[in-house]
Structure 1
């Protein structure tokens, strides 16, 4: 009996050692083949966070050689939060979840909705945005009044998207619609195809649709085809510690305004849409801008400004008309005042080269006044507002923010404070007095709209 227990104990020990060795071998195999996700601790110790995303304007893309996009900016903030570097992986839409499952990336951020199908493969963070799917069609094509009206229509969507799953569900529920699946065509490209009337219908989330409507004014955002859904980041089910850190980051980002700032940058003001105004702008990009493009590029490079942003300012000021005059008697392409013209060293505001030179020089002067604002994007918004309403009034609005216990370095705050300068309760206590403070807010909004379009088209 003692021999049995001794032999049995030895056998159990050998089995235990074998199990440990096998487990260790499996772990090494997973790590070598990229099929086992790095733990949160390994991510931190490596100093590198791998983002799986989709290359598209609504998520991640490069502009002038620099990475940008909503998901990229948010992921970059998360990497900063963890104090690690961010690495981008773009395997293609249908490969993103398989890459995450195989451990080829740490998390997935690609404007992805939480669906039952995806929950079979990944775990999601808490949501950071709610969206809704809509039918997209050309304004010369009849849309649908309700879901039943989709019967008989052919709708184009990308395979494997939430749009695909929704159309499949509608068809199973008795809606006699047809859908065509595409493997290598993005939602943005299908919206473009609708605008060009290559296809009649597609489906897009409202945030993507409103963003693209400014590029293609002839599209209409039709009926919703799904209840509101939620966007979230996804992680491998084996890495729930990372999921918890993402959730903590989102809560922190909501509290300190970082998420609001990024949402405002990419999706703010998208609902303000004037079809005729944007059609006119698209037309004048072709008919008027080329006359002044080289001048704008040359002077913009002097100060390190994106020439497309400056072109957006020129259009907002004069619609690319060198003889434009306002009711306050400012004149020329960049609507320079007589006093500013003298200060900037020009003698003829109606000459395009002089107006552009003076306007950009003055914009740079305003930009330099906000050295205390670290974020260059925020800083430029403050400079644009100052170009319109004057530095003194912007300074007054910042002081009001301070008195209210708000952050005077954030545009989301300033655009709420500026309109208060038209109310006696506030402007009587300021140094520079009354101002039509709603005007610089609208001014900046319009410039950002034009700038967004120019980045897309030029």
Structure 2
């Protein structure tokens, strides 16, 4: 009995010893393993998984841009690390790429849904939109959700659009859902609607509003579901990184950096002038080619993007070299006689002289406003070209009196319209100003510029290999 009891005691002690060793190794390994945020900080870089389209991430003039990319870059700056980008083969591979360690978080305009919340942890919402039906402007038959009965609706394969349409079909709406693979984008389907190749597609409202500029023959018809909220996604359990993302979102909304990035891509998208945009697209084809080489030469000479100059020239004269305003300005860049003399132009109606001289004058204005950042400097220079630098100086003075930044275009947009009122212009050196005009002038130029940039991107091979691209976050 004693021998047996000793053997039992020995076996018990041995079992406990093995268990203690196992537990100590397990807990040591568990606690020593870095969480995602610690790895990011220690490595000095963070990788965002995103998607290559006009809203998330793309390259323009060899520079990475996009709404989601700019937010991700701001986050990397917030952490003090460099930003890298990973693009998966298909959009449906975003979560798979995250799970397999190809990146640290997903920033790809991803809607927060119950099914996705089972796979990843989402940040606080930073954006909202709705799924809307897109039809051709001349389609008068489809006015409500019920009018989709019997229609074939084209959507990209594996998207929430497809999921929502299936819900509607399960609820009794007789529709034919055509799920298009091969990386066909929402933007491509919108183009097909505009050109009457298909009858209906579905898009998020922000995508629809932006693409209406590029394809003015589309109509944003009606929502097909409730408001959706977008969030960034991290692996399940990565609470430290998730908390840091939420902290970042809260801060950029408070300091208005989010608003600045948002406006870069979505400002004024709700403003839509069908006749003007339709005419612009036509004149890109039948007028711009004649002057494109001269515009490009002027842009290269004075350091501007030629597409910005083209947008400005269209706003000035619709690419008409013989344009004459009731105010006396003339030519394709609508120069005054004094300005023409200042830049050495002898014939304002000569398109080459006008383009070169007008660009030279814009550069002089740009040089004058040297206390602003590059983006604000350009917009203020454009406004000055339109209304005169004197009125801009008056507006800057009023901005300072109101404790606004005089070198910020967002401030001057608020102040310039005040110069229509006597209580402001009587105290200003340069007097009365139709202050809404330069604001509208700059807004239209930016719209045309956005369309021209989009045209160039569409003309390029935008396929990015599914591999990791190292990009600095500065």
Q: TM-score range by the shorter chain?
A: over 0.9
Match of 2:132 in 1: 134
Q: Does residue 354 in structure 1 map to residue 353 in structure 2?
A: yes
Q: Deviations over 1:253-282 (max 9, x none)?
A: 112221111111111111111111111111
How far does residue 427 in structure 1 lie from its aligned partner after superposition? 2.3
Cα gap change, 1:255/1:194 in structure 2, threshold over 3 Å: closer, same or farther?
same
How far does residue 24 in structure 1 lie from its aligned partner after superposition? 7.8
Q: Does residue 280 in structure 1 map to residue 279 in structure 2?
A: yes
Q: Deviations over 1:226-253 (max 9, x none)?
A: 1221122112122122121111112211
TM-score under structure 2 normalisation?
0.90
- SS at 2:214's partner residue? coil
Within 1, Cα distance between the matches of 2:451 and 2:126?
Answer: 26
Within 2, Cα distance between the matches of 1:209 and 1:251?
Answer: 27
Cα gap change, 1:170/1:296 in structure 2, threshold over 3 Å: closer, same or farther?
same
- The question of whether the paired residues in 1 share the 8 Å contact of 2:121 and 2:237 is answered with no
2:392 to 391, 394, 409: 394
Q: Does residue 256 in structure 1 map to residue 275 in structure 2?
A: no
- The question of whether the paired residues in 2 share the 8 Å contact of 1:115 and 1:162 is answered with no
Q: 1:127-166 to 2 correspondence within 5 Å? A: 127-166=125-164
Q: Deviations over 1:12-33 (max 9, x none)?
A: 34234335556788999xx9xx
Q: Deviations over 1:404-444 (max 9, x none)?
A: 23333333332122111112222233332221111011001
Cα gap change, 1:322/1:27 in structure 2, threshold over 3 Å: closer, same or farther?
farther
Match of 2:80 in 1: 83
Gaps of 5+ in 1: 32-36
- SS at 1:214's partner residue? helix
Within 2, Cα distance between the matches of 1:13 and 1:389?
Answer: 85
Within 2, Cα distance between the matches of 1:365 and 1:38?
Answer: 53
How far does residue 204 in structure 1 lie from its aligned partner after superposition? 0.5
Within 2, Cα distance between the matches of 1:362 and 1:392?
Answer: 15
Within 2, Cα distance between the matches of 1:330 and 1:360?
Answer: 15
Q: 1:21-420 to 2 correspondence within 5 Å? A: 21=25, 39-91=36-88, 92-183=90-181, 184-374=183-373, 376-420=374-418
- SS at 1:222's partner residue? strand
- SS at 1:244's partner residue? helix
Within 2, Cα distance between the matches of 1:128 and 1:322?
Answer: 46
Cα gap change, 1:236/1:370 in structure 2, threshold over 3 Å: closer, same or farther?
farther
Match of 2:423 in 1: 425
Cα gap change, 1:151/1:390 in structure 2, threshold over 3 Å: closer, same or farther?
same
Within 2, Cα distance between the matches of 1:121 and 1:408?
Answer: 48
How far does residue 106 in structure 1 lie from its aligned partner after superposition? 1.0
- The question of whether the paired residues in 2 share the 8 Å contact of 1:137 and 1:143 is answered with no
| Structure whose CA Rg is larger | 2
- SS at 1:49's partner residue? strand
Within 2, Cα distance between the matches of 1:60 and 1:90?
Answer: 9
Gaps of 5+ in 2: 457-474
